Structure 1
Amino acid sequence: MGYDIYTAVAIQPEIKMVNERKDIMKNLKRVLELIDCAPQVQPAARETYDGGWAPIKLISLPEFFIQGHEGHWPYKHYIDEVLIEIDGEEMSLLADKAKEHKIYIAGCILERDPDWINDGYFFNTHFVMGPDGNIVHKYRKFTVATHYELAVSPHDVYDKYVSMYGDSLSSFFPVTDTEIGKIGTITCMDGHFPETARALGLQGAEVILHPLLTEPSMTEPYNIWQAMNKMRAWENVAYVIGASWGTITNALRPKNFAPGKSMIVDFNGIVRAYSDSPGEAIISSVINLEELRRRRMDPGRNFPTLLRNDVYRKIYEQDIYPRNQFMDASPETRSARDPRLTIKQFVENGIYKLPEKVPNFLK
């Protein structure tokens, strides 16, 4: 059975930073409770998931939604306390909830993959779980925050990644055709690069899931998060769902480091649901696939069909950020992720002009 109209929900939880592994279950327990109560806080409120003219069929959760994340965590902390596996207990409990309510559940985890962990690599993995509890979609964050994360990008281990999964566009940016539409995922930092969402749009993604950004990008005077999600929706003629943290606890950073701002944007770039304050929240909006598909038949401002790639590809003729960063360098420190080598090349090639006060790494 397909759904041409349904309700999507973004859950905005309060996140406890995982200092000990038991904290993961504390976060998960609350998330499961919030999933249960989602029908009560949608505009067409009801007590259960049963019935409704546009039934809830998709729950989107933020990045790090049960693990949290701190930019100072050492590698050993990830290994000992934070990482989970796709077939582990935590995901099993989410699968039970997906089956109970007959819904799709999406979220991001810091994943220990047995095929990669022996080499020291782990991923920031965005998954979509089907109503049968099985994973139907898995994406590894491509543009990891080099100043912040120790997860690796597929680009950082490019040769091995390609040997295992292939080198097609969908190997890096998958789009999955489901009964609730064609779903694609990007994560946090990915949103700063229009190419990531475009990779999904050119494969027909109808719903793009894009959690999470943090301050100062989410409030005045920046409002980067809001502008970013509206543009990714508008330029790809797709819905964008951005689930965020409500607040964080047990952390060094301020509680409002991610101050809510979860949002659902339609294919015209119009915000259909928005949480304008920090704290726990659940927002929802109707996803009308028939309306979207009819809009895509209109040639006016149909941007994916207007791409002049024969010229645009000249932008990308030269590699910039080097691939295979961690085929030799250790993934256990943040130093190897620094883009200063690329900045230096931009200066040497006359792309960037030096400031009057030259940084030490360019001397």
Structure 2
Amino acid sequence: MPLGEHLENLYQIAMKLGLKEYEAKVYVTLLLFGPLTSTDLSKLSKVPYSRIYDVIRSLEEKGLIEISNTRPRRYKAVDPRIALVNFISRQYYDSLKYVNQLIEFASQSKSENEEEGVWIAKGKSAVDNLIRKAITSANHELLIAAYANFLKNYLGILKEKSKDVSICLVLLGNENISYELFISVSDEVLHRPTRAPQFVIPDFSQVLVIVNHEKSEPIAYEITDENLMGIFAVYFFNYLRKEAKLIFRNLESLEKRRYSNLARALDHVRFLLSKGIAPSVSIVGRLVRNGEKEKIEGYAVDTYSDPLRGVETLLVKVGDRVVSVGGRGAYIEEIEAFEIEVRSYGISIRI
């Protein structure tokens, strides 16, 4: 490679590391040919002599060069294994500080009520950002339907969330799957050998639908409209999860879990009832008769299911009475539940 072309490549690398054009030329020249006087430095770097001292001063402030105490002064680059690494580290932490300031300002300025609807993002980076945002936003329940090879990219953050969040994974497609990878990050793993869009549903706060993930420009639809979210939640539970093969479900070792969807809470309750325990539960929702907010504490004593009407009900003993609890959209039960906490302890019952 000709020297001129080689130098140009090095200049571009230096600029990608955060140096301006003249800074990059002077710095690379000193790395290759220093120590140099200001006159020689200007000639070799092709930086105008009228600008050379400003550039030298800037590089000195960045800790990248040192200056001799002789006449004429000579300049050389500090060992890049130390100086350049420190410079990049400072840039990173400075950038992180500014990013945090920007995030804090944006959070304070953000409207309390975000506009509901459907938002679209295109491209790998944009889609990846939305997936990570959806996963990290989950506080207690995370529902995911995805292809194993795609989901492997998010095992790290799933592992972190699994400490406090109940994660249900429906693995899609006919590919050979190493289930152990996913069992380690979730309460529940199922396999549905079908082609379908990929979903991420955190706490029923949004539904993220990902399509074209194998193409150069995947698309993500972020859905925050409650009616549309309900439709996709039904699709997830009644088509993907219900028809999937159960690979793993961890209910034995759980002290407690909170759910946004009644279906998984009922599975947890039925398991504990089968062990002779009517578990302690907490329900947050609204009264079906008038829409007022309601919260109850009690013991889950039974469950009821009517597949023909698509009705599933949790019966909770509160004091001397039994309260019927339905999921989102409930119209028969007394309470429509938005959040259900199931605990592993309760009162003993006869099986």
TM-score by length of 1: 0.24
More strand by share: 2
More helix by share: 2
TM-score by length of 2: 0.24
